[in-house]
Homo-oligomer: A and B are copies of this chain.
Amino acid sequence: MKILVINPNTSNGVTEKIASIATKAAGPQTQLDFITAPYGVPYIATRAEALIGGQAALEILADHKDEYDAAVLAAFGDPGLGAIREMIDIPVVGLAEASLLAACPLGRNFSIVSFSSNLEAWYQECVEWHKMEQRLASIRMLNAPFSDINSVQSELEDMLVDLAQKAISEDKADVIITAGAPLAGLASKVRDLIPVPVVEGVAAAVKMAETMCVLQPRTPRMGAFAQPARKPSKGLPPSITRLFGGQTT
């Protein structure tokens, strides 16, 4: 199985964190490649940034989909996932999506815990897009300063554990999702400090992509993700122009 892991953020440090966890999670027959977004922001936190990151991911997939069996969209919030899913004919799994789904067999309700309240509105809409609100206990966000996105995980570890505790005792979460690619790896570190299961999203996403490879789903010809008719466009990047169906004459 060849799986492409796309980091729609521009930060290479984040890609490295993702790669380290993803590699550990992958089965022996899985080959993983990693691509970092060539344009955009270091770390996507808002709907506007997700609009950009979604387009970057779509371009990457337009160029590379034929080389892979499946892909992982490795930003919690799953930027552009709907667009990708209707245009790209290999299975693509979102980091948030895989985290939410993997949390389900571990409890009735999960809470999402992360490091910046800027992310909250976007994460909330992501859970709603996946129609998983019925299992969402809460989204809890820190508002503490940190010096660097690459070290945010260790800088705020203690506060994130406390926040998870609050989600469990006050919001009745049965499972904690430590959300956001910069927190990749945190789940196993804090495993014994939190009294309920903690989901490592990157690992869940890699395993879900492997699951898709095994299921070998056909490309839908009907339904919400049937590939749309080809359509001319103008002024778009070459890979998207080709993906959509050529240029306006």
Known: A28-B28, A97-B104, A107-B223. A47 touches B197 (CB 8 A): no
Q: Which of B55, B107, B220 contacts A220 (CB 8 A)?
A: B107
Counting contact residues on chain A (CB < 8 A from B), the size range is 35 or more
Q: Which of B124, B129, B232 contacts A125 (CB 8 A)?
A: B129
Query: A248 contacts B196, CB within 8 Å?
Result: no
Query: A40 contacts B224, CB within 8 Å?
Result: no
Residues from chain B with a CB closer than 8 A to the CB of A225 are 106-108, 121, 174
| Cβ of A35 under 8 Å from chain B | no
Query: B197 contacts A25, CB within 8 Å?
Result: no
**Whole-angstrom CA separation of A185 from B51 in the bound complex:** 31
A86-102 vs B, Cβ < 8 Å mask (1 yes, 0 no): 11000111100110011
In the complex this chain forms, how many copies of it are found?
6
**Whole-angstrom CA separation of A129 from B80 in the bound complex:** 15
Query: A51 contacts B41, CB within 8 Å?
Result: no
Query: A27 contacts B25, CB within 8 Å?
Result: no
Residues from chain B with a CB closer than 8 A to the CB of A83 are 46-48, 50-51
CB<8 Å pairs between A and B, sample of 17: A39-B235, A39-B236, A41-B234, A42-B248, A45-B231, A48-B84, A51-B51, A51-B55, A52-B236, A92-B105, A107-B224, A108-B224, A118-B228, A121-B225, A191-B216, A192-B218, A199-B217
Residues of chain A touching chain B, judged by Cβ–Cβ distance below 8 Å, are 10, 25, 27-29, 38-42, 45-52, 54-55, 58, 80, 82-84, 86-87, 91-94, 97-98, 101-102, 104-109, 118, 120-121, 124-125, 128-131, 134-135, 168-169, 172-175, 188, 191-192, 194-200, 203-204, 207-208, 210-212, 214-218, 220-225, 228-229, 231-236, 240, 243-244, 248
Sample of 14 further A-B pairs with CB below 8 A, known A108-B124, A197-B218, A203-B214: A27-B210, A46-B228, A47-B82, A48-B244, A51-B55, A51-B83, A101-B105, A102-B211, A118-B228, A121-B223, A194-B218, A197-B217, A199-B217, A207-B215
